[in-house]
Amino acid sequence: MLLDRRSRAQTRVRWELLRNLIRKDLKVKYKGSTLGFAWSLANPLLLMAVYYVVFQVILPGRIPNFAIYLMSGLLIWNAFSGSVSGACGSVVYNANLVKKVRFPLPVLPLSAVGFALVHFVLQLGVLFVVIAALQYNFFGLQLLLVFPAFVVALIFTTALSMLVAALNVRYRDTQHLLDVALLAWFWLNPIVYNMDLIRQHLHSYTWIYFLNPMATVAATFQRAIYKHPYATINKHRTLILADPGYTWYLEHLAIVGVPSLLLLWFSYRVFTRLQADFAEDL
Amino acid sequence: MPSDASPSSPAIPAGPPSPAGRAGPAGLAGPAGLAVAVPKAPGVTATPTTPSVQRARVPMGNPHATVISAVGVSKRFVAAQRKATSFKEWFVRRSSRGPSEDFWALRDIDVQIGQGQTVGLAGANGSGKSTLLKVLAGILRPSDGEVKVTGRVASLLELGAGFNGELSGRDNVYLNASLLGLSRREIDKMFDSIVDFAELAHKIDDEVKHYSSGQYVRLGFAVAVHVDPDVLLVDEVLAVGDEAFQLKCLAKIAEFRAQGRTILFVTHSLGLIEDMCDRILVLENGEIIFDGEPAAGTKVLRQHLGSLPSEGPVPHDLAPVRPTKLTFARDPGGSEQVQFDPGEPLTISVTLEAVEGAPEVVYLHAYVLGMHEEPIWLMETTGGIPLTPGTETVVDFTVPAVPPLLGAFAVSVHVSNAWTGEPVTIRRFDDLFGISGPQSGGLLSVDYEARPRV
């Protein structure tokens, strides 16, 4: 029945609405600065230049092409932490809307995820262009690993984003706890340091380290983009990535992907359960 | 008992309410309230279940279908200090919860509203009417009971809610309509009409933060009414904007009514309810105390409000609108006199002085009082009376034929804000006028015969 369909349009998440909200966030953020969007793309490049100068020229490090190593893991982490942190405040920030208009509330955290996603895709494109320009050889089949890693990252990010968005309405210190947690969590991923370091400390317990979905995702991105699993450190040929092959990555993505899916289901349930009280708690 | 107030000039549309069928319990005339120029659609009668003729646009077969249904709805607000608002509190104060200090905003509400009904929600401040509207709008979850609303709901709880000041009017229209469930194609079709209605064609590409509050509200209303809602929920929002736009809004609501859409609105303006609604729900302390005909419902509410004044109006010499003078004459503007015979015309003129801060539009109730301050009859202005601060306005209440009363009478004038219904001030004038009925005693002359039964 038409009326039922029209009712549902106001309570179900629609792609179009999501797209409009993401576009709004982009417009608001980059309004009034012609170079605005370009700046946000240039940001990781500047970071890359700084790391290049520091670790390649001033303090030659243990990881060759450190800037590329760093960026290949950092972009997806930034997308994750940007999503979760943005989603956390999304409902509270739109309190006026939530209290006055009936619309599908899950679009609020989802649009925060979409916002970070747009940046991620563009920054990744820029990264590819730059490392191609640096004549760094990264072409190959291993690049395909980006896709499963991206899917797992998206599931996990969406799940966590919805959860913290819902919790933050009731417990406003969620945002503060989350900021601290993200800061610590960053160091639980092999982004700045290499995997050899972790293996030296954890030995056979290294698998615990990869229960963190983002660690697995970041490691896969490194294998896909940075490509080279071995480096010569102190004259020893050392495995600096998680694994020299490909199947290890696919297996581990599946291992963290399944719980991520469960978390997504759980978070969605929590969100839809709590959303009825948002207007009251805000 | 004739009890009409008729206009002295066309500028003050205080037309006489039809005496028949409007007579109240105490012989008081029924109020006609705010008779703004709302075009009533032809073919639409003011009975709740009458199907309207112009239903073509509403895709619904059965006009008697229930569109809004609330069964046993209650809403409890948990006292803020009992609720943990952070994880910290949750850990620290877990065991030290005090006794419950919950507040029941709604208790066991049962309402079925059929398609095409226009329903007014009225009640004193804090009676739960806005809460009920929010529960029906699906914004608040009822603590108990069930709510079902069929179709697209546009809730005008606040005009322009969700506008982003940084974006242009155009972007905001698209975003807002998208939130309300419209697809891009639907918005494209309506966009020009929205801009025209808001009278903002020249500014639609400017950022909304540069709009005046009136323009902001106009755009908000224009979007809300153009989303082709099946159910329109309106909360007091018509109290904003200039008068011309308010009339336009009311006309739009009347148009919706004619199209057979379901409208539910909260207002303090009882005149508006009497004018526009088929049905009134009167709430008191979260319960529905009356459900039915608007004329009867507003009377119930007036009685309840009268017996429990929530906040007394300001003394008449300090109020922003001051009734300064009261005169009696045969005709508007005629020479003053204080003694009238039954059947003679009577004009009671009230001079209002508006100062800074006066509401733009007010309405008046004038009670004619007997010697023990008992109300003999009530006269109300049927339309809002526009006021300009710093000037005086004279309102004439004209009675074509004085009723056959005997005695001296005083007049008490009540001034209310026409948009919100809030009382502004009350003045009971000391000036008296007399009516010399033919009877030898008693207030009223009645035809009778006295004879022994044969």
- Summarize pLDDT for A240-276 with one digit per residue, the tens: 888 888 999 999 999 999 999 999 999 999 999 898 8
Q: How many CB atoms lie within 10 A of CB B442?
A: 11
Nearest to A16 among B134, B158, B184 (CB): B184
pLDDT at A167: 93
Judge whether B400 lies within some domain. Answer: no
Residues of B whose CB is below 8 A from A3: 59-60, 150-152, 230
State the average pLDDT for chain A.
88
Residues of A whose CB is below 8 A from B180: 10, 101, 103
Nearest CA in chain A to B77: A280
DSSP B207: B
Work out the minimum CA distance from A209 to partner chain B, whole angstroms. 28
Distance, in Å, from the CA atom of B314 to the CA atom of B135, rounded to the nearest integer, reads 34
Judge whether B72 lies within some domain. Answer: yes
Say if the Cβ atoms of B175 and A102 lie within 8 Å: no
Range of the domain at B201: 66-77+103-304
Q: Does B153 touch chain A (CB under 8 A)?
A: yes
Are A107 and A21 in contact by the 8 Å Cβ rule? The answer is yes
Task: Report how many domains make up chain B.
Answer: 1
Q: Which of A21-30, A208-217, B29-38 has the lowest mean pLDDT?
A: B29-38
Judge whether B380 lies within some domain. Answer: no
Say if the Cβ atoms of B140 and A170 lie within 8 Å: no
Say if the Cβ atoms of B87 and A173 lie within 8 Å: yes
pLDDT at A254: 96
Can you tell me whether residue B144 is helix, strand or coil? strand
pLDDT at A1: 64
Handedness of CA B47, B49, B50, B52 (dihedral sign): positive
B163 or A213, which is more confident?
A: A213
Residue (of B333, B326, B321) closest to B9 by Cα position: B333
Are B68 and B262 in contact by the 8 Å Cβ rule? The answer is yes
pLDDT at B19: 37
Judge whether B361 lies within some domain. Answer: no
Q: How many CB atoms lie within 10 A of CB B373?
A: 10
Residues of B whose CB is below 8 A from A20: 174-175, 178
Nearest to A7 among B134, B150, B175 (CB): B150
Q: Grade residue A216 by pLDDT with cuts at 50, 70 and 90.
A: very high
Percent of chain A with pLDDT over 90: 45
Q: How far is CA B48 from CA B56, B147, B150, B296, in A?
A: 19, 20, 18, 14
Q: Grade residue A33 by pLDDT with cuts at 50, 70 and 90.
A: low
Q: Does B235 touch chain A (CB under 8 A)?
A: no
B122 or A109, which is more confident?
A: A109
Work out the minimum CA distance from B34 to partner chain A, whole angstroms. 27
Work out the minimum CA distance from A97 to partner chain B, whole angstroms. 5
Distance, in Å, from the CA atom of B363 to the CA atom of B350, rounded to the nearest integer, reads 12
What is the separation of C-alpha B85 from the centre of its chain, rounded to a whole number of angstroms? Answer: 38
Burial B284-320 (b: 16+ CB within 10 A, else e): bebbbebeebbbebbbbbbebbeeeeeeebbebeebb
Distance, in Å, from the CA atom of A114 to the CA atom of B1, rounded to the nearest integer, reads 70
Close Cβ partners of B294 (under 8 Å, ≥ 6 residues apart):
B120, B273, B274, B277, B278, B279, B280
Distance, in Å, from the CA atom of B83 to the CA atom of A127, rounded to the nearest integer, reads 48
Q: Does B181 touch chain A (CB under 8 A)?
A: yes
Residue (of A175, A178, A176, A169) closest to A275 by Cα position: A169
Q: Any idea where the domains of chain A sit in the sequence? A: 2-281
Distance, in Å, from the CA atom of B309 to the CA atom of B323, rounded to the nearest integer, reads 20
Judge whether B174 lies within some domain. Answer: yes
pLDDT at A61: 67
Work out the minimum CA distance from A176 to partner chain B, whole angstroms. 11
Query: Mean pLDDT in each 10-residue stretch from start to end of chain B (454 residues)?
Result: 39 37 36 36 36 36 72 81 68 56 83 89 83 87 88 79 84 88 88 90 89 84 85 75 77 86 84 84 87 81 59 68 91 88 92 86 88 86 84 92 89 85 83 86 86 86
Judge whether B142 lies within some domain. Answer: yes
pLDDT at A223: 93
- B255 burial (CB, 10 Å; 0-12 / 13-18 / 19+) is middle
pLDDT at A63: 80
Say if the Cβ atoms of A177 and B87 lie within 8 Å: yes
Judge whether B185 lies within some domain. Answer: yes
B123 or A89, which is more confident?
A: A89
Are B395 and B19 in contact by the 8 Å Cβ rule? The answer is no
Residues of B whose CB is below 8 A from A28: 164, 166-167
A32 or B268, which is more confident?
A: B268
Distance, in Å, from the CA atom of B22 to the CA atom of B4, rounded to the nearest integer, reads 11
Say if the Cβ atoms of A101 and B155 lie within 8 Å: yes
Q: Where are the beta strands (DSSP E) in B208-341?
A: 231-235, 262-266, 279-284, 287-292, 321-329, 339-340
Segment 201-230 of chain A within 8 Å of chain B by CB = none
Nearest to A3 among B60, B138, B171 (CB): B60
Q: Does B134 touch chain A (CB under 8 A)?
A: yes
The complex scores an ipTM of 0.83
Counted across chains A and B, CB pairs separated by less than 8 A come out at 102
pLDDT at B44: 35
Phi, psi for B387 (deg, rounded to 5): -120, 150
Distance, in Å, from the CA atom of B181 to the CA atom of B229, rounded to the nearest integer, reads 10
Say if the Cβ atoms of B90 and A24 lie within 8 Å: no
Q: Which amino acid is at B55?
A: R
Query: Helix, strand, coil proportions of chain A in percent (round to 5)?
Result: 75, 5, 20
Residues of B whose CB is below 8 A from A100: 139, 155, 157-158, 161-162
